[in-house]
């Protein structure tokens, strides 16, 4: 694992090494990560969760995802945009999520901004930053996977320009990976190109 190459899981299939550290990761890796996600609410959820993950491990977010969904009205933009000060206080007291004031405030503010966008506008903006297919090298080891790319930097700038918060280039790249704008499954990984 030290070189970051794909490793065999319990079923013998090769996977990205990070996917083997917890059972939840195997499912997330095999069924979600790197698969195309479309729809404003679905992308708002992913963007919000990536922002909450900043500074934490993804497994922390993944294990609390049901709590996040319950707390944030399944990340329906219109519903979250209508949250009140009482809702904010409820979120700050909710042990089922990450109770970070700045991240909660950003999630609420982002919903209010996005509620003013046309349907499909978030989806279109995010996907317009996907690199052209076949233009990125296929990673053979984790060390080949970048944390930031020119596309994620451009996406971050575009989102910030439109009023969104907690969307730096690293968060934007994690979103791109999670939502299938890029395929960073390792070359030998069973989920590559799935």
Residues 58-76, mean pLDDT to the nearest whole number: 97
Q: Name 186's Cβ contacts closer than 8 Å, sequence gap at least 6.
A: 5, 6, 14, 16, 139, 140, 141, 142, 144, 192
Percentage of residues in the chain with pLDDT exceeding 70? 98
Q: How confident is the model at residue 4 (pLDDT cuts 50, 70, 90)?
A: confident
Q: How confident is the model at residue 69 (pLDDT cuts 50, 70, 90)?
A: very high
Q: Name 14's Cβ contacts closer than 8 Å, sequence gap at least 6.
A: 6, 7, 8, 186, 188, 189, 190
Is residue 29 annotated as involved in ligand binding? Answer: yes
Question: Among positive and negative, which fits the CA dihedral 182, 144, 156, 68?
Answer: positive
Q: How confident is the model at residue 2 (pLDDT cuts 50, 70, 90)?
A: very low
Using the predicted structure, report yes or no on whether residue 193 has a pLDDT greater than 90: no
Q: Which CATH number fits domain 40-179: 3.40.47.10, 3.40.50.2020, 1.10.340.30, 3.40.50.1000?
A: 1.10.340.30
Catalytic, 58? Answer: yes
Residues 178-182, mean pLDDT to the nearest whole number: 97
pTM for the model: 0.95
Is residue 189 annotated as involved in ligand binding? Answer: yes
Catalytic, 44? Answer: no
Q: Give per-residue pLDDT as tens, 140-160.
A: 999 999 999 999 999 999 999
Q: What is the spatial distance between Cα 182 and Cα 133, in angstroms, rounded to a whole number?
A: 9
Catalytic residue, candidates 50, 127, 151, 173: 50
Catalytic residue, candidates 25, 58, 127, 173: 58
Q: How confident is the model at residue 41 (pLDDT cuts 50, 70, 90)?
A: very high
Q: How confident is the model at residue 29 (pLDDT cuts 50, 70, 90)?
A: very high
The reported pLDDT for the residue numbered 1 is 40
For the chain, which residues make up each domain, given as ranges? 40-179
Q: Name 125's Cβ contacts closer than 8 Å, sequence gap at least 6.
A: 158, 159, 162
DSSP state of 13: -
The packing angle between helices 58-71 and 40-53, to 10°, is 130
Catalytic, 127? Answer: no
Is residue 16 annotated as involved in ligand binding? Answer: yes
Is residue 179 annotated as involved in ligand binding? Answer: no
Catalytic residue, candidates 24, 28, 32, 117: 28
């Amino acid at each position: 694992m030290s070189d970051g190459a794909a490793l065999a899981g319990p079923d013998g299939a090769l996977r990205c090494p990070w996917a083997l550290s917890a059972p939840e990761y195997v499912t997330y890796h095999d069924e979600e990560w790197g698969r195309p996600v479309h729809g404003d609410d679905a992308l708002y959820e992913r963007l919000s969760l990536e922002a909450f993950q900043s500074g934490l491990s993804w497994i922390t977010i993944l294990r609390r995802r049901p709590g996040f969904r319950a707390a944030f009205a399944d990340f329906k933009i219109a519903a979250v945009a209508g949250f009140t000060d009482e809702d904010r206080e409820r979120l700050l007291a909710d042990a089922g999520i990450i109770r970070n004031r700045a991240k909660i405030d950003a999630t609420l503010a982002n919903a209010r901004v996005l509620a003013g966008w046309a349907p499909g506008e978030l989806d279109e903006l995010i996907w317009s930053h996907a690199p052209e297919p076949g233009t990125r090298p296929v990673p053979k080891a984790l060390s080949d996977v970048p944390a930031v790319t020119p596309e994620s930097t451009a996406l971050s700038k575009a989102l910030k320009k439109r009023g969104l918060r907690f969307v730096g280039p690293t968060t934007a790249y994690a979103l791109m990976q999670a939502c299938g704008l890029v395929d960073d499954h390792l070359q030998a990984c069973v989920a590559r190109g799935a």
